[in-house]
Amino acid sequence: MFQKIIRTDTSKSTILIRLMVGGVFLWEGVQKFLFPVIRGTGRFEKIGLPNPEFLGDFVASFETLCGMLILLGLYTRLATIPTIIIMLVAITSTKLPILAEQGIWEMLHAARTDWSMLLGSIFLLIKGGGLWSIDKLIYRSE
């Protein structure tokens, strides 16, 4: 089971997706702590998510931790599961209302980062951390 979680391909270019996905989740998570009114609790309250005080810190914690793990390539596949869930909730809660109120083009414009983070996370779930990852070092030593 553990080997399946850390198994990865030997692609050198996977690091580019890890840097994008891990970096964005890390700095967005940190910003939810630094600027809770506009990025965390306040934003979650504004869009109508339940229990925004808890949810703000909860999501910020997962974004920060998973972003760091993805950047390091440590438990990459496991770390992408919360990021995929976060992006699905973000698209559902913030982009579908835009679609309903302003149309497809405005929604597609607003969803570009969400869509990139979702697809990047799915890519890493499928491929793993790549050649330059801690997962690869661990997998070699077994």
More confident residue, 34 or 4: 34
For residue 140, name the pLDDT band (cuts at 50, 70, 90): confident
For residue 114, name the pLDDT band (cuts at 50, 70, 90): very high
Rounded to whole angstroms, how far apart are CA atoms 7 and 3? 6
Q: Is the pLDDT of residue 141 over 70?
A: no
Q: Is the pLDDT of residue 111 over 70?
A: yes
Please, which residues have CB within 8 angstroms of residue 42's CB and are 6 or more apart in sequence? 36, 52, 56
pLDDT at 30: 98
For residue 123, which amino acid is it? F
Region 81-109: what's the mean pLDDT?
A: 96
Give me the chain's average pLDDT, please: 94
Q: Of 10-14, 16-20, 27-31, which gets the smallest average pLDDT?
A: 10-14
More confident residue, 142 or 12: 12
Rounded to whole angstroms, how far apart are CA atoms 89 and 3? 29
For residue 105, name the pLDDT band (cuts at 50, 70, 90): very high
pLDDT at 142: 54
Q: Say if CB 124 and CB 18 are below 8 A apart.
A: yes
Q: What is the pTM of this model?
A: 0.93
Rounded to whole angstroms, how far apart are CA atoms 57 and 73? 24
Going 20 to 70 to 83 to 49, the CA torsion angle's sign is negative
Burial of residue 130, with CB atoms counted within 10 A of its CB: 0-12 exposed, 13-18 middle, 19 or more buried: buried
pLDDT at 9: 87
For residue 63, which amino acid is it? E
Q: What is the DSSP string of 11-59?
A: -STHHHHHHHHHHHHHHHHHHHHH-HHHHSHHHHHHTT-SSHHHHHHHH
